[in-house]
Structure 1
Amino acid sequence: MFEFLKRKANSLQGIIKKSNTKNKLDKKVLRKNDISLLILDERWNSLFKNTERTSEIIVSEDKLKELLKLQSRLLTESKEISLHKKDLMSRIIQLTKEVFDKNNEDAKKEMSSCEKEIKQINERLGAIEEEIENIPDRIKEANLELLEVTINIVYYKIRFNQKRIKELEALIEDAKSRLKGYIEEKETLAENDTDIYSYFHDLLGGEELEKLDKEFFG
Structure 2
Amino acid sequence: MKDKDLERFEEALKDKKIPLVTLDQKWYLLFDNNLRTFTLTNLEKKLNKLLRRQGQLYNDLKEMEKAKKTLMDKILENMDPNVEEHNGEFKIKKLDASQKLIKDINKKISSGEKELEELPMEIDRVNKRLLIEGMSICYDAMKVNKKNIELINTWIEEVRLELKNNIVKKQEIQEETNQIYSYMHDILGFEVLDVFDLYHDEAPSEE
**TM-score bracket relative to the smaller structure:** 0.7 to 0.9
Partner of 1:23: 5
- Unaligned ranges ≥5, structure 2: 203-207
Aligned to 1:158: 142
Aligned CA-pair RMSD: 3.3
Aligned residues: 198
Q: Cα distance 1:181–1:86, how it changes in 2: closer, same or farther (>3 A)?
A: same
Contact 1:74 1:132 in 2 (8 A): yes
Q: What is the CA deviation profile of residues 178-213 of structure 1, one whole-angstrom value per residue up to 9, with x for unaligned ones?
A: 2223333444555566667777789335xx479728
Could you tell me which amino acid in structure 1 is paired with residue 158 of structure 2?
D
Superposed displacement of residue 90, structure 1? 1.8
Q: How many Å separate the matches in 1 of 2:80 and 2:23? A: 54
Secondary structure of residue in 2 paired with 1:23? helix
Alignment partners' CA distance in 2, 1:189 and 1:50: 53
Work out the CA distance in 1 between the residues paired with 2:152 and 2:41.
Answer: 32
Given that 1:57 and 1:150 are in contact with CA atoms closer than 8 Å, whether structure 2 keeps it comes out as yes
Alignment of 1:125-164 (within 5 A): 125-164=109-148
Match 1:184 to one of 168, 179, 195: 168
Match 1:56 to one of 32, 39, 55 = 39
Look up the SS of the partner of 2:19 in the other structure. coil
Taking the aligned partners of 2:152 and 2:51, their CA distance within structure 1 comes to 44
Shift of 1:149: 1.9
Given that residues 99 and 108 in structure 1 are in contact (C-alpha distance below 8 angstroms), is that contact kept between their aligned partners in structure 2? no
Match of 2:107 among 120, 123, 135: 123
Shift of 1:53: 1.0
Cα contact 1:68–1:139 (8 A) shared by 2: yes
| Cα distance, 1:209–1:147 mapped onto 2, change above 3 Å | farther
Q: CA deviation at 1:139?
A: 0.6
- Higher helix content, 1 or 2: 1
What pairs with 1:1-218 in structure 2 (closer than 5 Å)? Answer: 23-24=5-6, 25-41=8-24, 44-49=27-32, 51-97=34-80, 102=85, 104=87, 105-188=89-172, 203-205=189-191, 208=194, 212=198, 216=201
TM normalised by structure 1 equals: 0.73
Q: Which runs of 5+ in 1 are unaligned?
A: 1-18
